[in-house]
Amino acid sequence: MSQFPSQRPRRMRRSRGLRNLVAETRVHPNDLILPVFVNENLNERRALSSLPGVYQETLESVTDVAAACLDAELGGIMPFAIPTERDATGSAAVDPNGILARTTTAIKDKVGDDLVVIPDLCLDEFTDHGHCGVLDDRGNVANDATLELYGEMARVLAASGADLLGASGMMDGQVGHVRSVLDADGHSDTGILAYAAKFASAFYGPFREAVDSQLQGDRRTYQEDPSNATEALREIDADVEQGADIVMVKPGMPYLDIVAAAARRVTVPVAGYQVSGEYAQIKAAAERGWIDGQAAMSEAVLSLKRAGASMIATYGALDVARHLR
């Protein structure tokens, strides 16, 4: 009798129990981070048209979201904030009584040490021109002047209770500068999640609505060129050398090759960010009945984990966590 085929991989796929037994990659709710938006101008939460299921929260409602994250066993929450007033230098970002500092403290008071709080360390939500740093006389983002403000912002957020700071501005030397400021200021236990490979992507569109972005022009002079992989790895190496505790690749699925390369290359954890455009595409297709939205969202998160991400930031974190449970 013929022995062909001698290999029958389908044996291990014939039941759910067998598939679970031999699964090579698993996502746990603790792997997930939920980005949230807090708008200082709101008295009640506001739905975002381009991000179904996502809201601009109030200072009060965001603590309820944090409690839901804790109940769902998420690993972290990542607050972004929209201030009442913006100016050229993003001064609200370095205000100890500013909306992001108050948000960080309010969430931390609610969840304690059981949920990691990672406020965004960047100026774009706070500047009236929408860039991630201050501008020079020619309208270009001034790298070193911006670093000084990042240091001040780091002090404020660390004092507000942040566990990690999401260094997302893509300024040269930002991790090293922030690390030195934190250490000198007695915040050596505050970690840095570095957006080490943050690409100038078309997938950020809905995020602009979420933070009421005032952006004029684009961010291609400081965010990574989507065509460059080697340069991205150079950025990752630099951030690790400067003291990053975690490095992030953003966006996620369009850059799975960078996630995988980073995971092979560094000994710190690697994070992936399923950004607003990725999330919105899945939601839009699901609303039209073209795909199973829950299955697609879970598969997208799984793909990031399989590529090597230890943790994933996604606007679908609560839904994925509930599905997993």
Within a domain: residue 235? yes
| 253 part of a folded domain | no
Evaluate whether residue 270 is within a structural domain. Answer: no
Helix or strand holding residue 180 (H, E): helix 174-184
Is the separation of the CB atoms in 109 and 65 below 8 Å? no
Q: Does a structural domain hold residue 19?
A: no
| DSSP collapsed to 3 states, 13-73 | HCCHHHHHHHCCCCCCHHHEEEEEEEECCCCCCEECCCCCCCEEECCCHHHHHHHHHHHCC
For residue 210, the model assigns a pLDDT of 85
Q: How many structural domains are present in the chain? A: 1
User: What is d(CA 299, CA 293) in angstroms, rounded to the nearest whole number?
Assistant: 10
260-313 per-position pLDDT tens digit:
999 999 999 999 999 999 999 999 999 999 999 999 999 999 999 999 999 999
Of 4-13, 117-126, 231-240, which range is least confident? Answer: 4-13
CATH number at residue 57: 3.20.20.70
Burial (0-12, 13-18, 19+ Cβ within 10 Å), 265: middle
Say how far apart CA 323 and CA 325 lie, in whole Å.
5
- Over pLDDT 70: what percentage of the chain? 99
Q: Which of 108, 110, 250, 283 is catalytic?
A: 250
- Band (pLDDT 50/70/90 cuts) for residue 107 is very high
In a domain, 239, yes or no: yes
Which tokens in the block code for residue 158? 């660390």
Residue numbers of the domain that contains 179: 26-248
When pLDDT is averaged across residues 191-204 and rounded to a whole number, the result is 96
Answer yes or no: is pLDDT of 187 > 90. yes
Our CA angle for 263, 265, 268, nearest 5°, is 65
Is the residue at 169 inside a domain?
A: yes
- Look up 198 and say whether it is catalytic: yes
Q: Is 108 a catalytic residue?
A: no
Answer yes or no: are the C-beta atoms of 293 and 282 closer than 8 Å.
Answer: yes
- Domain assignment present for residue 76? The answer is yes
Q: Which residue's entry shows tokens 């299921």?
A: 53
**Which residue in 108, 110, 198, 283 is the catalytic one?**
198
Residue 3 lies inside a defined structural domain of this protein:
no
